[in-house]
């Protein structure tokens, strides 16, 4: 069984009553605050809940922020990406996948949603599919080693993925080289 990266402790789950109370309060505030401002607040509050490992509450904040349909593309990216991440933390990989894909659609140049998509696909045991976004994330931001680490762990725990994904070995080597270059001091 493949170990899931970065999963929170299930004992940290928040009860339905707390989530409903947060949702009611968000609805009350929504009528008094402009939608874009409210969506930004939801992002900040969601990040705070992530930091406290309160992923159910983080999901409630991110979901509300998305429902406000913010115009700012960075805001939409982070709400979707962070919701996908939080759902992954809860082991709800199938639920997290579409939010990771939405974040990628909003901004394909950012790397983190690719990593989170790889985690979602790994959690669904779609290992060959998971390797591809891990490679994309590692290429997009070699200084952030998390995607490469997830990819290496995937290959270590499910070695048959090497035969299922053409050129995966060479992609891993390329990502390792990029990571080394990103961490070495420049020689100007």
The Cα–Cα gap between 24 and 52 comes to: 21
**Where does residue 156 rank: exposed (0-12), middle (13-18), buried (19+ CB within 10 A)?**
exposed
Tell me the two tokens of residue 132: 């591809």
The per-residue pLDDT for 9 is 37
Q: What confidence score (pLDDT) does residue 185 get? A: 66
- The beta-strand segments (E) located in 34-186 are none
Return the pLDDT at 186.
56
| CA angle at 1 for the pair 8 and 151, rounded to the nearest 5° | 75
Shortest CA distance to 57 belongs to which of 27, 99, 12? Answer: 12
Domain spans of the chain?
111-183
pLDDT digits (tens, 9 = 90+) for 48-63: 999 999 999 999 999 9
Residues of the chain short of pLDDT 70, as ranges, are 1-14, 185-188
Q: Would you state the pLDDT for residue 188?
A: 46
Q: How far apart are CA 119 and CA 96, in angstroms?
A: 9
């Amino acid at each position: 069984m493949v170990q899931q990266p970065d999963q929170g402790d299930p004992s940290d789950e928040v009860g339905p009553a707390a989530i409903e109370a947060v949702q009611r309060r968000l609805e009350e505030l929504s009528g008094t605050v402009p939608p874009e401002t409210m969506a930004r607040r939801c992002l900040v509050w969601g990040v705070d809940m992530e930091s406290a490992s309160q992923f159910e509450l983080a999901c409630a904040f991110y979901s509300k922020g998305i429902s406000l349909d913010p115009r700012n593309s960075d805001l939409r990216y982070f709400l979707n990406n962070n919701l996908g991440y939080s759902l992954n933390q809860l082991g709800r990989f199938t639920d997290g996948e579409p939010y990771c894909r939405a974040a990628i659609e909003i901004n394909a140049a950012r790397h983190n949603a690719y990593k989170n998509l790889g985690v979602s696909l790994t959690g669904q045991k779609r290992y060959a599919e998971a390797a591809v976004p891990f490679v994309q994330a590692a290429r997009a931001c070699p200084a952030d080693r998390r995607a490469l680490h997830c990819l290496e762990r995937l290959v270590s725990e499910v070695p048959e993925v090497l035969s299922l994904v053409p050129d995966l070995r060479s992609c891993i080597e390329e990502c390792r080289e990029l990571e080394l270059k990103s961490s070495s001091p420049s020689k100007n």
